[in-house]
Structure 1
Amino acid sequence: MTTTVTAPDAAVTPAAAPGGPRARAVLALALFEARELLQQIVVLVFFTVYTVAVVRQMISGHLGWHELTGHEGMAGYPALQDADRETQTSAVLLGVALFLCANRAVLRSRRQDTDRHFGTLAMDPWRRTLGHALSVVPFALFSGLIVAVRFGWAALRPGAVGHGSVFELAVSPLTVLLCGVAGVLLARLVPSAFAAPLLAVTAYVVVLDSLVFADSHWTQWLSPVVAESGGDPLPSDLIGRPAAWHALYLTGLIALLLCAALLRSGGRTARIKAATALALAATAAGIAGQSPGPSAALQAARAQVSEHPESVERCAVRGATTYCALPEWTGRTADWAEAVERVRSLTPGPAAARPLTVRQRVEARYGLEGDSSYDPLTAPGVVTVGTRWGGNRVPEFSTGLASTLVAGDEKAGGEVCDGRVVAVMWLALGAADDPLGQLRAVRLDDSTEGGSYVLTPTSGLLMSAGQTKVVAELLHRPRAEVTARVKARWTELTRPGVSTARAAELLGVAATGLGAEGGNSCSE
């Protein structure tokens, strides 16, 4: 009897398959799994909500999309060194969705009891793991596209200033990719459907705890997204964030987690081992690079621009006003000039021609999350403007400017509490398109009734209920009529010690019900 030995089919022998077909098989698996991920309710909902939210923000004006050539609030004047960071926080939710669903996708064969059939297939287990990891890439690319659109639209704003960082913009897609790969690795380490949700909740608690209690710079930067905000925009060269090192850290960590998943799946080839070593080195280098805090040179530069902005500013003269701006904000002087001219248009000749200096100031000594309050200046005719503009910042600046015109300097203007408050508020708001709306915006209580604190770029001033009543009445009247009265009675209206009741009489407003102090806010 003759025995015939048949060689095994090369198609089912992993070692015999050429490299090209293997790569195509991995890509085919990745595309299939990507489609499967897209059909997961969690991923679909999160990505849909994310996209709709970004579009809605743009339409509503949060990112400035009312008119390409117009300005809507502070978002119409973005600082691009802040706008790049604003694209990062939403990536965490997208990443969590992919972490859970990518983990579930890897465990699908275990749930359906098809693991034992994979031994008859040509594809190695580690290549299947690679296919699952690559299935996350399209979602990271989509996140990068949304980031580019969002940042690009902000950069197209006519009021945009500063410079964004490509490394800051890369954080969102890198975070999404990191979370997806982490989900794949967890499935290979702990093949349980409960592991991913449990780890997600634990990670949330740990991150929340670190945000609340930890103040160490190097531990803070171990998080994929490091949000720093609160203060006014700083010049680009004073940001001081290790964005490039952080991007390297995230890239190395992604590669390290991927290599760990491949090794766990049996992919112990020389290339994978070499890639693991390289990823570990990149991750370590990123951690080392991002760990140090602000350098001494950066701290000195921040102190210089905070204490002596005139040393770095560029000044331009427009009429009787000199505008001194930080280098990245020189294009904004035209917007400041519009506000100055509105205030000047309501003052009589000598006051309208008085020389003024608008000086931009920024508090950079305490970093991106520092307090942005400024002490009032004592130099005659010098007015403070911050690095944030639009929205409430416009009437706040106009009020500071008007108080300086009336009292002589910012410090004296912040101490005005008599009837001159009426003249100050009329100058600040009388020429606005929506004066009553601007009155609400500039007051701390967002109201046009009662006493309140009026905001300015520096110390602000108190406004009594009586003064509010008189100013609101003036803002309801025809602008030309009130302007003529103000100009005709300017000397007495701006005399120190004039009562609010007397100011009301001079402007033709009933002075009844203003209180024993004549409506002044000095005693409040």
Structure 2
Amino acid sequence: MTAPSGASKEAARARVPAGDRRAVLALARFEGLRLLRHPLVLTAFALCVVWMARPGATTWRSHPPLQDMDRDHQLPLVLVGFAVLIAVNLAATRARRHGTDAILDALVLPPWQRTVAHLLSLLPLWLVGAVMVAAQFGWMATRPEAVGRGDIAELATGPTSVLLLGVVGVLLARLTASAVVAPLTVLALLTSMFVLAAGDSGVAWLYPTVHQSPSGVPTDLLDRPAGWHLLYLLGMTTLLGAVATAVAGGRRRTARGTAVAALTCVLAGALFQSAWPSGALARERQQATERPAEVQRCQRLGTTEYCLFPEFGVWVDDWDRVVREVRALTPKDVAASPITVRQRVNAVDAGSTGSDGAIPFATPSEGPTGSAWSVPVGTLWGSGTEDLALAAATAYRLVTGEAPQPGTPVMCDSRGVLTLWLAVRATSEADLNSLLDGQFSGGGVPISLLGEAQLDAGWVVLREHELAVVQALLDRPRGDVDRRVREEWSALTAPGTSSLRAAELLGVTAPAVTGDDGEWNCR
């Protein structure tokens, strides 16, 4: 078999116009189906599904904040994009790697049109990613406990990242037939993404996905530049696709015009996304963090007033259930005392991956109830120990008469025993196991006052000694301990009552205080 001459190739192409869309689309369908069946791509999509349905995503399934849910898929879809990059690169270099270029040159499609077909073959993968995102977000958005609102640009970012990385694979195929270039490119992108994009600089927004915002920030205070970022990604996708087509011998005028338009979108998106956040937004975040009463609304249920950011109103009944459970374990006069529960958030550092500063939640209550201090509650619910955190903060308020102060108070007395017992008794003993998992090496047991997911919220700490007394109480019949707590409330809440005395009053045996327990700086 001999390769066709140049004249015969031109004659063959003359029979079918070079711009015949049907031939390009037929090749795109064929390559698209091959990509969908590629083992690497199938594995990546399977892992993406596992991520979206992971057991650790309890907060998304029970009480989803939609302003966080709309970007939960982005990182796993970027990993899918890396798999697509390698798979489409192998497909686009198949002929050169197998030495069949001469056969392809006999076809009616020139190299640049075959490149266009490989670019179009990525669209089914984009569609699969979009369907996955829409299904997950739609399921969460229909839940009655859902709060906030999603952003269509955030939802489109993940599937667009798959498209962009696939285009990178096609471009690499036009530059070199080496099979190792694509994996090396993936390794370089992964390394730079987790090193350079982890900071707070504008460089992070040059990557497909950006996780600089913590969970639970109210929607209006989050305000990520998702629209500009999506424009940047679409511009980059189009620009690299135009370059790949031009390198393959495409029409220069068309490729040049497309590249100029795409580059304009890239520059505009990169410029405006790097200017986030605005000065006005920064002031609003500081106000919500330090003076939340100015932007919250309040509602009263019984003798408890709940002050919250407006979009979280559907969670009030869940908060009230926990507060009522704690109140029910106290004497009637204590249970009837007014309390203000105020939602707190650290929105000042909403543009970073986290915060080292504690939320100043222990501010005097501005509510009309006249309570001395407000009980804090966070902007996440259902992801772990948020119910225990609210129960502990409420118990602390009822036991001591004030909310926990900023810092880490260590409660080495009867009031510490009573606070933890009330919190665990009002929620679940399973929450106590979560506390034990986070136990300090020196034996202290920390209780986060806004739950596991908001670790900069402040803590109350108990020693091993107080924990042992609480565990002994939980092993006793509930009715007997409940009665003793109400009868001995005054003595148990007196500042000078020790944990040893509390154990005696409640009918349990306390272990001796160890040397490690004696080293704690008690409140």
TM-score range, shorter chain: 0.7 to 0.9
Match of 1:445 in 2: 438
Residue in 1 that maps onto 2:390:
397
Which residue is equivalent to 2:505? 506
The code of the aligned residue for 2:257 comes to A
Contact 1:221 1:290 in 2 (8 A): yes
Match in the other structure for 2:13: 13
Aligned equivalent of 1:70 = none
**1 CA distance for matches of 2:516 and 2:185?**
65
Contact 1:377 1:411 in 2 (8 A): yes
2:115 equivalent to 1:132: no
Which segments of 5 or more consecutive residues in structure 1 lack a partner in the other structure?
Answer: 1-6, 65-72
Q: Deviations over 1:143-199 (max 9, x none)?
A: 111111222222233322111111111111111111111111111122322322232
Query: Aligned pair 1:420/2:415, yes or no?
Result: yes
Relative to structure 1, the CA distance from residue 483 to residue 175 in structure 2 (aligned partners, 3 Å threshold; closer, same or farther) is same
Tell me the equivalent position of 2:481.
Answer: 482
Aligned to 2:367: none
Gaps of 5+ in 2: 1-6, 365-371, 451-456
Q: Percent identity?
A: 39
Q: Would you say the 8 A contact 1:440–1:446 is kept in 2?
A: no
Secondary structure at the counterpart of residue 410 of structure 1: coil
Distance 1:132 1:365, change over 3 A: same
* CA distance 1:411–1:451, shift in 2 (3 Å): closer
C-alpha deviation, 1:464, in angstroms: 2.4
Match of 1:431 among 405, 426, 437: 426
Asked whether 1:113 is paired with 2:111, we answer no
| 1:330 paired to 2:313 | yes
Q: Distance in 1 between matches of 2:338 and 2:522?
A: 33
2:460 is matched with which residue?
A: 461
Distance between the aligned counterparts of 2:194 and 2:39, measured in 1? 26
Other structure's SS at 1:298 match:
helix
Whole-Å separation in 1 of the counterparts to 2:331 and 2:518: 25
Q: List per-residue Cα deviations over 1:211-234 (Å, max 9, x = no partner).
A: 36x6421x22111111224x4411
Q: Which residue of 1 aligns with 2:494?
A: 495
**Aligned partners of 1:271, 1:513: CA distance in 2, in Å?**
84
2:173 maps to what in 1? 187
Return the offset for 1:520: 11
Please point out which of 379, 383, 399 is paired with 1:387: 379
> 1:344 maps to which residue?
327
Contact 2:411 2:463 in 1 (8 A): no
**Structure 1-normalised TM-score?**
0.88
What residue identity is the alignment partner of 2:360? Answer: D
Any conservation in 1 of the 2:66–2:146 contact (CA below 8 Å)?
A: yes
Q: Output the CA distance in 2 between the equivalents of 1:476 and 1:49.
A: 43
Q: Which residue of 2 aligns with 1:48?
A: 46
Give me the whole-angstrom Cα distance separating, in 1, the residues matched to 2:517 and 2:50: 54
Q: Secondary structure at the match of 1:359?
A: strand
Distance 1:473 1:167 in 2: 53
Given that residues 359 and 385 in structure 1 are in contact (C-alpha distance below 8 angstroms), is that contact kept between their aligned partners in structure 2?
Answer: yes
Name which of structure 1's ranges 10-19 and 320-329 shifts more when overlaid on structure 2: 10-19
Partner of residue 92 from structure 1, selected from 35, 60, 78: 78
Contact 2:326 2:423 in 1 (8 A): yes
Deviations 1:379-399 (A, max 9, x none): 314201111122211101111
Counterpart of 1:227 in structure 2 is 211
Answer whether contact 2:197 2:205 (CA < 8 A) is retained. no
Task: Give 2:3's aligned residue.
Answer: none
Structure-2 change in CA distance of 1:319 and 1:442 (3 Å): farther
Partner of 2:369: none
Instruction: Report which stretch shifted further, 103-112 or 410-419.
Output: 410-419
Partners of 2:322 and 2:426 within 8 A in 1: no
Give, in angstroms, the shift of residue 258 of structure 1: 0.9
Check conservation: 1:417, 1:520, Cα contact below 8 A. Answer: no
Q: 1:416 to 1:9 in 2, by over 3 A?
A: closer
Whether the aligned pair in 1 keeps the contact of 2:362 and 2:405 (CA below 8 Å) is no
Q: How many residues align structurally?
A: 498
CA-to-aligned-CA distance 1:415-460 (integer Å, 9 cap, x gap): 643211122122212233x32x22232457359x964233323543
- Name 1:377's counterpart in structure 2: 362
Q: Indicate if the aligned counterparts of 1:325 and 1:360 stay in contact, CA closer than 8 A.
A: yes
Q: Helix, strand or coil: the match of 2:239?
A: helix
Is residue 2:144 matched to residue 1:152?
no
Once residues 292 and 356 of structure 1 are traced to their aligned partners in structure 2, the CA distance between those partners, rounded to angstroms, is 42
The one-letter code matched in structure 2 to 1:453 is P
What residue is the counterpart of 1:69 in the other structure? Answer: none
Counterpart position of 2:242: 259
Residues 188/441 of structure 1: CA separation in 2 closer, same or farther (3 Å cut): same
How far residue 306 of structure 1 moved from its aligned partner, in angstroms, is: 1.0
Q: Residues 523 and 215 (structure 1 numbering): CA distance in 2 closer, same or farther, change over 3 Å?
A: closer
1:212-251 superposed matches below 5 A: 215-217=200-202, 219-229=203-213, 231-251=214-234
1:23 and 2:21 aligned: yes
Q: Which amino acid aligns with 1:31?
A: R
Residue aligned with 1:130, SS: helix
Alpha-carbon RMSD across the aligned residues, in angstroms, is 2.8
The answer to whether residue 65 in structure 2 is matched with residue 79 in structure 1 is yes
> Structure 1 residues 249, 493: closer, same or farther in 2, change over 3 A?
same
Aligned to 2:403: 410
CA contact (8 A) 1:378 1:411 kept: no
The structural deviation recorded for 1:340 is 0.3
Q: For residue 387 of structure 1, what is the amino acid of its counterpart? A: T
Task: Return the alpha-carbon distance in structure 2 between the equivalents of residues 298 and 14 of structure 1.
Answer: 61
Distance 1:63 1:517 in 2: 37
The letter of the residue matching 1:179 is L
For residue 122 of structure 1, give the secondary structure of its aligned residue in structure 2. Answer: coil
* Deviations, residues 125-157 of structure 1 (Å, cap 9, x unaligned): 211110011111111111111111222222233
Q: 1:492 to 1:463 in 2, by over 3 A?
A: same
Could you say if the C-alpha distance between residues 239 and 319 of structure 1 is closer, same or farther in structure 2, counting changes exceeding 3 Å?
Answer: same
Give the match's secondary structure for 1:145.
helix
Shift in alpha-carbon separation, 1:366–1:378, aligned structure 2, 3 A: closer
Shift of 1:11: 7.8
The structure-2 alpha-carbon separation of the partners of 1:411 and 1:203, relative to structure 1 and needing over 3 Å to count, comes to closer
